[in-house]
Structure 1
Amino acid sequence: MLNRFEEWLLKQQIGYLGARDEQQNATINHILVKANLLTYCVLTILMFVSLIWDLSHGAMLTLGTFFLILTQLINGVYTARLVRKAAVDQTEFYDMPTYQAALKQLKVRSVWRGINWAVGMFIWLTIVIPFIQQRPTDASWTLAIIWGVSGIIVGVGSYFRKKKDLHLLRE
C-alpha cells in the first residue's frame, strides 16, 4: 500500500503518466534527495527562527514551533531508518591502511561532533536563550563541565555507532 501511495505522490509531484526507466528513476531520486536536503536545511533555519521568536515574545513554545520540531524529528528518524535498512551507510575496505585511515578520519569527526554538541548546547542554553528572554545568563563552570561530559558522550557514541558501518574485508 505504501509503495502505491509513494508512486501516486511521485506522479502528482513530478507530473509523469507512465512507467519510468532506470535512468529516469535514478534522476528523479537524485532530484528528490537534493530537495529533501534543502528542505531539511530550510526547516532547521525556520525552526530556530520560530524558537527565537517564541522566546523573545515570552512564549515558551508555540504550536507552530512544536510542529516544525516534530517534522524535523520525524523526517530525520524516517530517513535514518531507510538508510540503515538499505545499508547504504555501510563502507567496505579491502586493505588495512585504507581502513585505518577511515578510522582515523572517523575519530576526528567524532571529536568535532562532540565538541560541536557541547559548545553549541552550552552557548544556546546558558547564553543565547537567557539573552533572548532578557534574563541574566546562567553560565557556570558546573554547566560547562556537564555539557563537556555530554559532548564526550555524544562523540564516543557517534564513533562507536559509525564504526559499525565500516567493514574490513579480508580475502
Structure 2
Amino acid sequence: MMKIEWKERVYNSFVGTMSERDEYQKQEINKELSVAGIGLWWLNMLIMLIMLLVDTMNHTISIGTILIFLSNMIYTNYLTFKFKKKGLNETECATKEEYLQHKKTLRKAGLKAGILWGFQMFVFMNYIFPYVGSEEISISLFDVVLWSCAGGFFGLTMYIFGLWNLKRLY
C-alpha cells in the first residue's frame, strides 16, 4: 500500500497535478510519457554512439560512455523484466492458422534483424571504427564470414525470443 501511494505521488508530481486523474487522462498521459521515453532512449543510444566514436578517435574510453551504456542496459532490462512479469509482451493466438501466421512474420523479422545487425556490425567494425581510430581499413574473408555468422545467430536468437512470446490459446 505504501509503495502504491509513493508511486502515485511521484506520478502526480512529475505530471504536475494536484489530484487524481480520471482513466482517460491517465491513459493519454501514459501514452505521451511512453512516446517520450522511447524517443529519449533512442536519443540516448545516438549520444552513446557519438561518445563511442569520439572515444575511438582519442584512443580512450571515458567514464561517460560506460555510464551511458550501463544506464541504457539497466533501462532496457528493467522494461523487459516488467513486461515479461506482467505478460505484456505475449501475443495470443486463438487458432493454429493465426499462430502459423505470427510464426511466419517472426521468421521474416528475425531474418531481417540478423541481416541488418550483421551488416551494421561489419560496416562499423571494418570501416567506421578503423577509419575514426586512424587505423588501417582491411577486410578479409574471415570478417565477412564472422559477421555473416554473427548476424545469423542474432537473427535466430531474435526469432526464438519472439516464439517464446507467442501464447497458444487453442
**TM-score normalised over the length of structure 2:** 0.91
- Equivalent residue number for residue 134 of structure 2: 134
Which residue number corresponds to residue 30 of structure 1? Answer: 31
User: How far off its partner does 1:7 sit?
Assistant: 2.6
Please report the TM-score for the alignment, with normalisation by the length of structure 1.
Answer: 0.90
For 2:108 and 2:121, locate their aligned partners in 1 and report how far apart those are by CA, in whole Å.
20
CA distance in structure 1 between the partners assigned to 2:120 and 2:6 by the alignment: 39
Comparing 122-131 and 88-97, the one that deviates more: 88-97
Distance 1:42 1:15, change over 3 A: same
Q: CA RMSD in A?
A: 1.6
1:98 CA drift (Å): 2.1
Contact 2:59/2:133, CA 8 A, preserved across alignment? no
Question: 2: distance between equivalents of 1:5 and 1:136?
Answer: 55
Structure 1 unmatched ranges of 5 or more = none
Tell me if 1:6 matches 2:37. no
Of stretches 99-108 and 22-31 in structure 1, the one that deviates more from structure 2 is: 22-31
Q: How many percent of aligned residue pairs carry the same amino acid?
A: 22
What's the offset of the Cα at 1:5? 4.2
Residue 73 of structure 1: aligned partner: 73
Compared CA separation, residues 163 and 26, structure 1 to 2 (3 A): same
3-state SS, counterpart of residue 136 of structure 1: coil
Matched ranges for 1:1-171 at <5 A = 2-56=3-57, 58-170=58-170
Aligned counterparts of 2:65 and 2:10: Cα–Cα separation in 1:
26
CA shift for structure 1 position 70: 1.3
